[in-house]
């Protein structure tokens, strides 16, 4: 993220209905096929007004953002 934070919770400011926080990319150990490997990790945080946005739709949005960030060619080629 802009401020170099690893994780935070963005705050909605009226009249916003949602805000997406994208944080610093850091290398972290993860389990992959039974092995510990180092991978770049970036946390996403979505704050939203539950009166306007349903939680399941917010999660679906985050999943799409995650998939596009993991495979930027999809975003660039619009596939």
Which residues on neighbouring strands pair with residue 22, listed in sequence order? 44
> How much is the mean pLDDT over the chain?
91
6-28: pLDDT as tens digits: 788 899 998 999 999 999 999 99
Instruction: Find, among 70, 67, 1, the residue nearest to 59 by Cα.
Output: 67
- Identify whether the C-beta of residue 29 lies closer than 8 Å to the C-beta of residue 37: yes
Residue 79 pLDDT > 80: no
Percent of the chain with pLDDT over 90: 73
Cα–Cα distances (Å) from 52 to 16, 62, 63, in that order, read 10, 16, 19
pLDDT at residue number 55: 95
| Residue-wise burial string across 57-71, b where 16 or more C-beta atoms lie within 10 A, e elsewhere | eeeeeeeeeeeeeee
Residue positions annotated with a catalytic role: 50, 54
pTM of this structure:
0.77
């Amino acid at each position: 993220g802009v401020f170099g934070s690893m994780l935070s919770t963005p705050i909605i400011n009226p009249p916003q209905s949602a805000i997406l926080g994208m944080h610093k990319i850091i290398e972290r150990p993860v389990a992959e096929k039974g092995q510990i490997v180092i991978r770049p990790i970036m946390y996403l945080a979505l704050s939203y007004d539950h009166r306007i946005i349903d939680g399941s739709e917010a999660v679906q949005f985050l999943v799409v953002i995650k998939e596009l960030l993991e495979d930027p060619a999809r975003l660039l080629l619009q596939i």
